[in-house]
Amino acid sequence: LSEEEVSQMAATHNDSVTLVADSLPGITAMPAEPTSTIRKPQIQARFYIPPLYDKNVFDSATTVKYFSLAQASQGELKLLVNSKLLTQEIASVIKNHTTDNTDIMILMDKTMSMEDDIDNVKAGMSKVIAAMKEYDNVRLAVSLYADRNYNGNNWFSFKNFENDLDGAIGYIQAIQLISNLDIPESVYDAFFKAMDQGFWKEENRHVIILIGDAPPQEIPLSNYTISDVIREATKSSINMT
Give the pLDDT confidence of 167-190 residue by residue, as tens digits. Answer: 999 999 999 999 988 899 999 999
What CA–CA distance (Å, rounded) separates 186 from 214?
9
- Give residue 44's Cα distance to chain centre: 41
Range 206-222 average pLDDT: 96
What CA–CA distance (Å, rounded) separates 147 from 182?
9
Mean pLDDT for all residues in the chain: 85
| Paired residues of 143 in beta bridges | 107, 158
Q: What percent of the chain has pLDDT over 70?
A: 76
Helix or strand (DSSP H, E) at 10: helix 3-12
Confidence of residue 1 (pLDDT cuts 50, 70, 90): low
Please tell me the predicted confidence (pLDDT) of residue 31: 52
Say how many residues make up the chain. 241
Confidence of residue 36 (pLDDT cuts 50, 70, 90): low
What CA–CA distance (Å, rounded) separates 218 from 225?
7
**Is residue 103 a contact partner of residue 200, using CB atoms and an 8 Å limit?**
yes
Please tell me the predicted confidence (pLDDT) of residue 80: 80
Whole-structure pTM value: 0.77
Rg (CA), the chain: 25
What CA–CA distance (Å, rounded) separates 36 from 181?
76
Please tell me the predicted confidence (pLDDT) of residue 24: 52
**Is residue 241 a contact partner of residue 208, using CB atoms and an 8 Å limit?**
yes
**Strand 238-240, strand 38-39: pairing:** unpaired
Give the pLDDT confidence of 103-122 residue by residue, as tens digits. Answer: 999 999 999 999 999 999 99
